[in-house]
Amino acid sequence: MATTFMKRCLRAAVPAVLVCLGAAGCDPASPSADGAGGGGPSVHFTAAGDIGLGTAAGNVLDKIAELKPDLNLAVGDLSYQAGSEGAFCGMVTAKLGEEFPYELIAGNHESDGSDGDISKFARCLPNKLPGLQGEYGKQWYVDVPQDRPLVRFILISPGLTFQDGVQLDYSKGSERLAWTEAAVDGAREAKIPWTVVGMHKLCFSMGRYDCDVGEALTNMLISKNVDLVVTGHQHAYQRTHQLRVGDRCSYIWAGTFNRNCVADTGNTHAQGNGTVFVTAGTGGYGLHGVNGNDTEAGYFKTWAGANNGGAFGVLDVTLNRQRMDAKYVPAQGSGFTDSFVIQR
């Protein structure tokens, strides 16, 4: 976030990666140069999940360093290997620096400790964003910048089982659904321009997965016009149209397509008409195939996996008070790209 009201500048080990958090004493480059038109303060973030410890993971981290975001959302499935928390954190900090906000939410591989333990990852890659609320790595939100925020990031863990063997409950009437809803409502009440939700598992998928996060949560996010939901789990890139609920689509059910639930099929959306879901399970660990004939295909604008020209890479987003510019930036594999805009 390149803003005029920043207090603290953190220069990471990566050359030219400048992160400013807070106010005064930091004079970053012109925010409009980051890619979001309209000028003014902006926030720039990247996101990807399903990372691993291999060459592709390193290449994706190199791409993040090159893009110079203010923060990255790692949306779960980190190392895929028991006992490797230190190696994973070392890989990240070697590429991005000790102070870079590489922000974590658990995936199914580390939530229960089977392939590394989210609590250990959270210790060696701790939160770097001031004012974070909730439990880092599991269920949290934060406003960025802390002073006069432009965006609330809400990171949650629906569909995941943690060390106690109990899957977190985000079903209708649950405390965690209410917590998430209150976080969205709180952003609105605080007049924060954008809301972005991140989680590892997904609902809609061009392939193998069911609506593991639950339809109650999914419909709540859409009904409240959360601007963008970023997930991992499916190791591919996939972007839905802006999806809506309301007249003629009172509820979206996974597994079938209802065209009345599509607000807009273009690449430029108006804020407040629904939600765009992006899966970026492309952080470095073995791309999955995608199924172009999936029963939910009508909800999707684009998709790219192992069998149709997919690439490892990151979602790259810049937002300001007027608009959100999002694109997919490849780091290894094909040159697949994507871009879309949400305007206020």
Q: Which residue's CB is nearer to Fe ion, number 50 or number 316? A: 50
Residue span 72-111 as binding mask against Fe ion, x where in contact by CB under 5 A, dash where not = -----x----------------------------------
Stretch that binds Fe ion, among 50-58, 95-103, 113-121, 129-137 (CB under 5 A): 50-58
Shortest CB 339 distance to Fe ion, Å: 25
Q: Which is nearer to Fe ion, 285 or 299 (CB)?
A: 285
- Kindly tell me which of 77 and 227 has the beta carbon lying closer to Fe ion: 77
* Min CB(51)–Fe ion separation in Å: 9
Paired with 237 in beta bridges are: 280, 304
CB nearest Fe ion: which residue? Answer: 77
Closer to Fe ion at the Cβ: 225 or 282?
A: 282
Secondary structure element (H or E) that encloses residue 121, with its range: helix 118-124
Give me the least distance between CB of 256 and Fe ion, in Å please. Answer: 25
Query: In the complex with Fe ion, which residue's Cβ is closer, 35 or 207?
Result: 207
- Candidates 270, 229, 9, 38; CA nearest to 128 is 9
Contact window for Fe ion (CB under 5 A) among 45-53, 93-101, 122-130, 136-144: 45-53
Reported in sequence order, the residue ranges of the chain that DSSP labels E, i.e. its strands, are 7-11, 18-22, 42-48, 71-75, 102-105, 133-135, 139-144, 151-156, 194-199, 228-231, 237-240, 242-243, 262-264, 268-270, 276-280, 300-304, 311-320, 323-333, 338-343
Q: Looking at 19-27, 49-57, 62-70, 259-267, which segment touches Fe ion (CB under 5 A)?
A: 49-57
Residue 155 Cβ vs Fe ion, minimum distance, rounded to whole Å: 16
Q: Cα angle at 32 between 31 and 38, to 5 degrees?
A: 125
In one letter, which amino acid is 179?
W
Long-range contact pairs involving 321-326 (C-beta distance under 8 Å, separation at least 24): 321/38, 321/40, 321/41, 321/150, 321/193, 322/36, 322/37, 322/38, 322/40, 323/36, 323/37, 323/38, 324/36, 324/194, 324/227, 324/228, 325/35, 325/36, 325/37, 326/228, 326/278
Could you tell me the smallest distance in angstroms from the CB atom of residue 57 to Fe ion? 12
Buried b / exposed e across 251-266, counting CB within 10 Å, b at 16+? ebebeebeeebbbbee
CB of 50 to Fe ion, least distance (A): 4
Q: Which lies closer to Fe ion via its Cβ, residue 17 or residue 51?
A: 51
Contact positions with Fe ion (CB under 5 A) in 146-175: none
Which listed range, 42-50, 122-130, 294-302, 335-343, lies at the site for Fe ion (CB under 5 A)?
A: 42-50
Q: Which residues contact 131 (CB under 8 A, 6 or more apart)?
A: 142, 143, 146
* Rounded least distance, CB 88 to Fe ion, Å: 14
Between residues 138 and 224, which has the closer beta carbon with respect to Fe ion? 138
**Residue 212 binds Fe ion, judged by CB under 5 A:** no
Size of the site for Fe ion (CB under 5 A): 2
Based on the shown chain and the rule CB under 5 A, indicate whether residue 50 belongs to the binding site for Fe ion: yes
* DSSP 8-state class, residue 274: -
What is the binding site for Fe ion (CB under 5 A)?
50, 77
